[in-house]
Amino acid sequence: MSFPQTELKKPPVFSGRNLYYHFYRIRTKPELILGVLCLSVLAVLVMVPLFEIIYDALTFQEYDKAYQKDGVVGEFTWLHLKRVFTGPLSNALFFKPLMNSLAIGAFVTFFGVSIGSGLAWLLVRTNIRFKGVFGSLVVIPYMMPSWVLALAWLSVFKNDRIGGSEGMFTYMFGIQPPDWMSYGFVPIVICLTMHYYAYGYLLMSGALATVDSELEEAGAICGMNRRQRLWRITLPLLMPALGSAVVLTFIRILGTFGTPALLGLPVRFFTFSTQIYASINARNSGDAYVLALVLIFMAITFIWINSRVIGIRKSFVTLTGKGFRQREIELGVWRWPATIGVAVFIVCIVILPMLILLWESLIITPGSYTLEGLTTHFWFGESDPNLAYGEPGVIHSTGIMTALWNTIQLGVSAAVLNGMFGLMIGYAAVRGRGTLLAKWLEGIAFAPYIFPSIALGAIYIGMFSTPFGPMPALYDTFAILVLITVVKNLPFTSRTGIAAMLQIDKSLEETARVQGIGWFRRMAKIIIPMSTSGLISGMLLTFITTMRELSLIILLLSPSNMVLSGLIFSYNEQDMSQHSGAVTLLLVVIIVSINFLVQFLSGGKGLSGLKNS
Amino acid sequence: MEKIELTGMRKSYGKEVAVRHLDLTIEPGAFLTILGPSGCGKTTTLRVIAGLEEPDTGIIQLGDKIVFSRDDGIIVPPEHRNLGLIFQSYALWPHMTVERNITLALKEQKLSASEIEQRLENALEMVQLDAYRYRYPSELSGGQQQRVAVARLIALRSRFLLMDEPLSNLDAKLRTEMRTELKHLHRDLEATTVYVTHDQIEALTLSDIVVVMNEGLVMQHGTPYDIYHHPSNLFVAEFIGDPRMNTFTGTPKNDGGQAMFECGDLSFAMPGDLQPKTGNLIATIRPENINVSKTEREGWLKVALESVQPTGASTILQACTEHISMTLLQPGFIQMDVGDFLWIDVDTSTVNFFDPDTEQNLKS
C-alpha cells in the first residue's frame, strides 16, 4: 500500500516565525517553565556552592597571610591541601579525625542497624506483647535531637577532668568515673547508637512488613528449614533496605556534630565534623573546605558502592506496607522476656534521659543532686545574680524566648517552603517525565543528600558570607538558616512531591485545561487540593528535623539568629547545666506534641512518612 | 455548527511515529468516529485536535480559526480552543461534588450566578442526575460517573465534542444504553463531534462518518455502510465485522465466457473486468452472505460442520471441506451437531476482491 508521506518542513531556525512559534509553544507548557525555574534555583543553591568551596580550597585567601606573608589573594595554591594532607599538622587535622569518624561510623552503624533490625523483627513479625505502644515509643528518639543522650550522659558521668561541676555518678559514689567513660570514643558510640538505631528500625520495619509470609512458606514446602529460609529468602529480600539503612546511617554519622562536640571537644577528641567546626572557628576556612570536600567524596563513594552492590533503583525504593497476610512467629517461652527487654530498652533511652535532664534542671547548685536542693528557679525564677551568672529562668529569659520563637518560625517556614518546592518539582518532573529536563531536576534535587550536614553548612558559610550576585551577604541572618534547611530537606520533599503528583491522573488536569481553565487556576483548584494530603507527612518530617537540627546550622548560628538547639549547645559550653537541661526538655516536648497534634489532625499517619527518609 | 479540519498532520514521539499523515475534514455538525486497533494513532489524533499534544507539522483548523500551524508559528493552547472532551476515565475531580465538577469551568468563565444555575439544572436534568447534585464522584456508580462527565460537557456548551473511548469502562448492558444517550446528546447539542473507539459496533451505530486507522495512517474514510460493504483494503475488510470476514485466496478462470473464481473446491462467478497483476486474487465474503441449506441442492458446495455457537438471535457456524474452511452466520438458534453436513452457496453480489500484493480493493 502506498500512502502520502508528510515531509517535515520547518521554517529556518532564526526566522521570526520560528521564534514566534517557540515563544508561544513554551507558553503552552507550564511544566517546562516551572522545570527550568526550579532547575536554575537549585543550580544556584546546590551546585554553585560546591564549586565555590572547591575554588576557595584551591586559591589563596586573605586569612592565609598569617601563614604565608607574600601570598597573593585569589591566586591558585596547594597551601590548604598540603596543610591538611601532608603538612606537620595533617595528623591532627586530617588523619586522626578521619580515623575517629570512620571508627565511630563503623561501630554505630553496626550496633545501630543490628538493634534497629532486631527491634523491627520483634515488633513486626513476632507475637511480642504491646506492639502498638512499643511501635510508637521506639521511634521517639528519631524526633529528639541526637545529642539529648549526650547531654544526659554528661549529667551522669561528667568528671573533674574539665573543671566545673561534676556528674551524678561522682555525687552518688564519691569516685570519679574514668576519662574513657566520661568522654570520647565510648560514650560517643553509645549515645549515637541509641539515637541512630531508629533509622535502621524505620527502614527495616517498612521492608519487613512487605515481605510476604507466603514466600517463606513456599520455601518451607520446598523443604528448607528455618535457618535456610532466613538466609536464602528473607535476607536477600531485605538486602536493599538493609543496604540503604547502613549507608544512610553511616553518612549521617559522618556529618553529625552535636554528640561528638559535647562528648569529644572537652578532651580534644576530634571527628571530621568537629574538626571542620574547629577550623572554621580558628578562621582557617580553607582547611575546613578541604575536609568538607573529603567528607562529600566519602559520602558519594559509599552511595556509589551501595548502588553498585544492590542496584540504585532498588536501594532507594520506598517500601510501604501493603496489607497482605503475615504470619506471626510464635516466641513461646521467650515472649515475656522479649517484651520486658524491649520495655527496659525504651525506658533507658527515652524516659531515663528525660528524667535525668529534668532533675538536672531542678537542682540549685550544679553537681549537687540532693532532693532538698530542688528548685524551679531555672524554669520560672527571675534573674538572680547568685545563680547561673544572673541568667533568669526559662520563661523570663528573652534569649530563650527569642530562640524558641526563631525555632518555631524556622520549622514552619522550612516546612511550608519545602512543601511548595516539593510540589513544584513534583509537578515539573512528573508532567515532563521522559524529558532531559525532568531527569536533571530529579537528579539535582537528590544532590543535597550526599552532602553531610556539617559540610553543607561549611559550603553555605563560604558562599553567603559575601554578597552573591543580586543576593546580599546572608551571614548572621535568619534567611540563611531557612535557605540551608530547605535545601537539605529537598531530596525527601521532592520525592514526596513526585509521589503525590504521580497519584493525580494526568486526565484530571487535562479536562480542566480543555474546559478553558488556566494554569494558576488549575493549580489552585485541582493540583494543590489533591496533593496536600500526600505532602503533609513530608512537611511534618521537615518540621521535626528542622526543630531539632544542630549539625547543619551550627556553623551559621550567631546571637542574632539563635535557635534552641544552638542555645542548648552554648549553655552546655558555659557549664550552665540547669538551663541546657530545661531548654532541651522544652524542645523535646514541643516537637513530640506537635508531631502528635499533626498526626491527630491529619488522620493518624504522621509518622509513616518517616519511613521514607 | 462548525467544521474541524486537519491538513498534513504528523505526530511522532521521538523515533516512534504515532500518526504518519492525516488529512481529515469533519463537516459541521457531523458525528465522526475514528476506529482502529490500539496503537493506531486514533487517541493521538484526538489529543492533537484538543491541543494536548503538539503535532510535528500540519495545520489544524477549528471552525474558521487556525489553532495550529507549524509553518505560520501558530499554536493555540487547549484552554483557548473551546472544546468539550470526555476521557475514558471520565476524569471527574474526586475532591469536588457533582455540582462543583459541572460548574467549575463556568465559574472560571465568570458567568453570572443565574446563568450557571440554569445551565447546571438543565445539564443534570438531561442526564437524569438531579438527585445526585451534592454527591462526590466516589459515591456514584460507573454509569452515573459517566453521566456526570456528560453533564459537564453539556453545561459547557462547546462547539466541538471530543470523546475518547467514553464507554469502554462500562459493562455491556450500560454501554448499549449510554450509546443511545450519546447519540441524543449529539443531536441536541448540534456540536461537531469526534469519537474515538476500538469498538466497531459503537462506530457503526453512532457515526455519520467512520475513519478507520492503522499504524498511523487512514485506511478508509466513509459512511458506516461503505465501510462495511465496500472495504477499500484488506485491513478494513478483516477489521470490521464480527464474526470475522471469510477470506479466500484463489485464481480467476474463464469458463465459457463467464469469469469464475476458484479456491479449492469452492467456485463462483465473478465480474470479468477484474484482472489481477499476478495470477492470484483474494476474495472476501461476510459470514451472513453465504446461503446455507440443510438439504442437498444443485451446484451448492457440501461442507461439514466443525463447531456450532448459538448466541441467541443468531448462530455462528464453522464449516469446512477438505481444502477450505469458513465461518457462517445464520439467524435463529440453530441446534446441529459437529460432523453434520450442510450445503452452501455464495451471494456473489456481496463479494469483494483484493489484489494480494497491494491489498487494495480491485473495484475501487
Using a CB–CB cutoff of 8 Å, tell me whether A559 touches chain B.
no
Residue B275: what pLDDT? 66
Counting the structural domains of chain A, the total is 2
CA distance B327 to B338: 14
| pLDDT for the residue numbered A212 | 67
Which of B22, B52, B67, B111 has the most A C-beta neighbours within 10 Å, making it the best mutation to test the interface with A? B52
CA distance B350 to chain A (A): 23
Question: Which one is predicted more confidently, B285 or A249?
Answer: B285
**Structural domain range at position A48:** 30-58+398-613
The average confidence (pLDDT) of chain B is 90
Cα of B121 vs its chain's centroid, Å: 33
Contact A28/B at CB under 8 A: yes
A530 CB near a chain B CB, below 8 Å?
yes
The CA distance from A589 to A62, in Å, is: 45
Task: Decide which of B247 and A143 is more confident.
Answer: B247
Whether A74 is in a domain gets the answer: no
Model confidence at B55: pLDDT above 60? yes
A 10 A CB-CB count for A269 gives 18
- CA dihedral (B155, B160, B165, B168) in degrees, to 10, reads 30
Q: Are residues A115 and A38 in the same domain?
A: no
Residue A68 lies in a domain: no
User: How far A513 CA sits from the closest chain B CA (Å)?
Assistant: 5
For residue A133, what pLDDT is reported?
A: 84
Compute the nearest-CA separation of B103 from chain A (Å): 11
How many CA atoms lie within 13 Å of B306's alpha carbon, on the beta-carbon side?
A: 11
Percent of chain A exceeding pLDDT 90 equals 16
Residues 6+ apart with CB under 8 A from A384: A377, A390, A392
The reported pLDDT for the residue numbered A11 is: 62
Q: A406 and A351 share a domain?
A: no
Kindly determine whether residue A9 and residue B87, on different chains, have CB atoms separated by under 8 Å: no
Residue A81: pLDDT band with limits 50, 70, 90: confident
Residue B46 has pLDDT above 90, yes or no: yes
* Whether residue B112 has pLDDT greater than 90: yes
The interface predicted TM-score (ipTM) is 0.83
Kindly list the strands in the beta sheet with B301-310, ordered across the sheet, starting from the edge strand earlier in the chain. B290-293, B341-346, B301-310, B314-320, B325-331
> Is residue A456 located within the same domain as residue A556?
yes
Which residues in chain A are closer than 8 Å to B52, comparing Cβ atoms? 510, 513-514
* Model pLDDT, residue A317: 38
Q: From the DSSP assignment, how many helices (H) and strands (E) are in chain A?
A: 31, 0
Query: What are the helix (H) ranges across A222-349?
Result: 226-229, 235-255, 258-264, 272-281, 285-310, 312-315, 335-346
Asked if residue A80 belongs to a domain, the reply is no
A527 backbone dihedrals φ, ψ, rounded to 5°: -65, -50
Q: Is residue A462 domain-shared with residue A596, that is, in the same domain?
A: yes
From B21, B73, B83, residue closest to A6, measured CB to CB: B21
CB contact (8 A) between residue B83 and residue A27: no
- Distance of residue B289 Cα from the nearest chain A Cα, in angstroms: 27
Are A151 and A102 members of one domain?
A: yes
Task: Tell me how far apart the alpha carbons of residues A389 and A439 are, in angstroms, rounded to a whole number.
Answer: 56
Identify all chain A residues contacting B156, using CB atoms and an 8 Å cutoff. Answer: 515
Q: Read off the pLDDT band of A608 (50, 70, 90).
A: very low
Candidates A31, A435, A511, partner chain B, best to mutate (most B CBs within 10 A): A511
Same domain, A220 and A332: yes
Q: What is the pLDDT of residue A42?
A: 87
With CB atoms and an 8 Å threshold, state whether B91 touches A508: yes
Identify which of A202, A192, A195 has the alpha carbon closest to the alpha carbon of residue A117.
Answer: A202
Q: How confident is the model at residue A296 (pLDDT cuts 50, 70, 90)?
A: confident
Q: Give the closest residue to B237 by CA, choosing from B292, B301, B285, B304.
A: B285
Residue A611's pLDDT is 40
Q: Which residue has the higher pLDDT, B234 or A476?
A: B234
Say whether both A535 and A607 belong to one domain. Answer: yes
Domain-embedded: residue A372:
no
| Residue of chain A whose Cα is closest to the Cα of B155 | A515
Q: Same domain, yes or no, for A54 and A94?
A: no
Q: Is residue A199 part of a domain?
A: yes
- Confirm whether A377 is domain-assigned: no
Indicate if A291 and A408 belong to the same structural domain: no
Please give the pLDDT value at position B49.
94
Residues of B within 8 A of A521 (CB-CB) are: 108
Nearest CA in chain A to B94: A530
In a domain, A242, yes or no: yes
pLDDT of residue A560: 85
Q: Check residues A13 and A589 and name the one with the higher pLDDT.
A: A589
Same domain membership, residue A563 and residue A423: yes
Pair (A525, A610) in one structural domain: yes
For chain B, helix (H) and strand (E) counts, in that order, are 8, 21
The pLDDT of residue B215 is above 50:
yes
A202-206, A224-228, B127-131: which has the highest mean pLDDT?
Answer: B127-131
CA nearest neighbour of A298 among A231, A266, A253, A244: A253
Residues of A with Cβ-Cβ distance to B83 under 8 angstroms: 514
Of A5, A21, A508, the CB nearest to B20: A5
Residue A40 or A2, more confident: A40
> How many Cβ pairs within 8 Å bridge chains A and B?
111
Instruction: State the CATH number of the domain containing residue A559.
Output: 1.10.3720.10
Across the range B217-231, mean pLDDT stands at: 94
**DSSP 3-state of B174:** helix
Residue A318 has pLDDT above 50, yes or no: no
What pLDDT does residue B364 have?
Answer: 56
Question: DSSP string spanning A495-547?
Answer: HHHHHHHHTS-HHHHHHHHHTT--HHHHIIIIIHHHHHHHHHHHHHHHHHHHH
Asked if the model's pLDDT at residue A450 lies above 60, the reply is: yes
Q: Is the pLDDT of residue A91 over 60?
A: yes
Cross-chain residue pair A20–B73, CB shorter than 8 Å: yes
Instruction: Flag whether residue A12 sits within 8 Å of chain B, measured between CB atoms.
Output: no
pLDDT at A482 (0 to 100): 93
Residues A285 and A159 in one domain: yes
Closest CB to A515 among B156, B218, B233 = B156
Write out residues 482-521 of A within 8 Å (CB-CB) of B.
505, 507-508, 510-518, 521
Check CB contact under 8 Å for B91 and A530.
no
Identify the pLDDT of residue B195: 94
For A463-491, what is the mean pLDDT?
A: 84
DSSP codes joined into one string, A549-576: --TTTGGG--GGG--HHHHHHHHHHTT-
The answer to whether the CB atoms of A521 and B108 lie below 8 A apart is yes
For residue A228, tell me if it sits in a domain: yes
The whole-angstrom separation of Cα A324 and Cα A346 is 29
Question: pLDDT band at residue A606, thresholds of 50, 70 and 90?
Answer: very low
Chain-chain contact of B73 with A507 (C-beta, under 8 angstroms): no
Dist. CA B151–CA B130, nearest whole Å? 11
Residues on chain A touching B89 (C-beta within 8 angstroms): 505, 507
In this predicted structure, the answer to whether residue B343 has a pLDDT above a threshold of 90 is yes
What is the pLDDT, as a whole number, of residue A321?
36
Chain B residues touching A11 at Cβ < 8 A = 70-71, 73
Instruction: Give the rounded percent of residues in chain A with a pLDDT score beyond 70.
Output: 92
Bond preceding residue A97 cis, omega within 30 of 0: no
Q: Which residues contact A275 (CB under 8 A, 6 or more apart)?
A: A93, A94, A97, A291
Residue A613: pLDDT band with limits 50, 70, 90: very low
Q: pLDDT at position B136, please?
A: 92
Tell me if B95 and A529 make a contact (CB, 8 A cut-off). yes
